[in-house]
Copies of this chain bind each other. A is one copy, B any other.
């Protein structure tokens, strides 16, 4: 049985109690889905499963003082079940998205215990006969987050203008896994706290797990990428004054540039914030391909957006998680010196310079 994530958890009455499967990969880079859910989901995480790091809590395992304090890292599904979870969430995003076969017994154990399974893999678990049967047998549900809803699956882009007075911001990436979603969610939280009427537009599986809705952009048939994202953003601009659109990949990515350009054009932003992990020099997992400079990336995104609708880059969101405090401040200063744009690490130093840049732009 497939269920609609928007009806539960994030948006609904029933708070989930989540166990996150991150076997063998619960590190900062390996578990970006886990980390996103731990940081931003309104649901409660009761355990992370990784036998190679079991024993302490999440904060200790990741070396992050503010995330997952007191949430145990446990050795297996049996230990997790003792903490009475309602859902097992697959918290790892292997490249290519396939299901490792050694996870199958874990999933079968979870489903037999009536845990719902939440998966962002490219392969749909509910289409697997054995897993589907196990879910039916226990009454559990399988939510394949990357399965597009019907209204997004085959929609043709229209190039439609947004509601006058609404402002759409695209969080453009220098690469995969640099902090685009984190930047957009952090700015969204801060803007809401200031009383702005903002919404976060989720465009990837982790964002959808957190908010309960969105477009699994990289799973959409390419002909319909622009159209699906356009509908998501258009609908939000009707209800909100600001829409913060999570970016994906980068325009110069050898594998994912199609996804990125479809997002930029479908979202039709009015302005952009460039997101980058300080110190990264090459495309992640493509060691032969150097990243452009920040200034080149600004030009790249402004050029591509303007093919349909101009969207200046108004600020830089740096992820400095791998730097010490002094190096982080130096990286922020260097980004501003290079581009002439306000910069910050929105998580470490707060998002105020970027919110101020957005306000100045529309003033």
Contact = CB atoms under 8 A, between A and B. Distances in A.
Contacts of A254: 157-159, 226, 230, 265, 308
A154 interface: yes
A184 to B, nearest CB: 20
A4 B45 CA distance: 48
Interface stretch (A52-60, A64-72, A73-81, A214-222): A214-222
The count of identical subunits is 2
Nearest to A226: B255
Contacts of A166: none
A122 B157 contact: no
Interface stretch (A101-109, A256-264, A340-348): A256-264
Nearest to A265: B257
A257 B225 CA distance: 9
Contacts of A265: 253-254, 257-258
Contacts of A1: none
A179 interface: no
Given A225-B222, A256-B226, A156 B122 contact: no
A157 B219 CA distance: 15
A194 to B, nearest CB: 33
A154 B255 contact: no
Interface of A: 95-97, 122, 154, 156-159, 217-223, 225-227, 230, 251-263, 265-266, 283, 286, 288-289, 292, 300, 303-304, 307-308
Given A97-B223, A257-B308, A303-B303, 14 more contacts: A95-B156, A122-B154, A159-B254, A220-B222, A221-B222, A222-B222, A226-B253, A251-B261, A252-B307, A253-B265, A254-B308, A257-B262, A258-B263, A261-B261
7 contacts: A95-B156, A159-B254, A218-B221, A219-B222, A251-B261, A257-B261, A292-B307
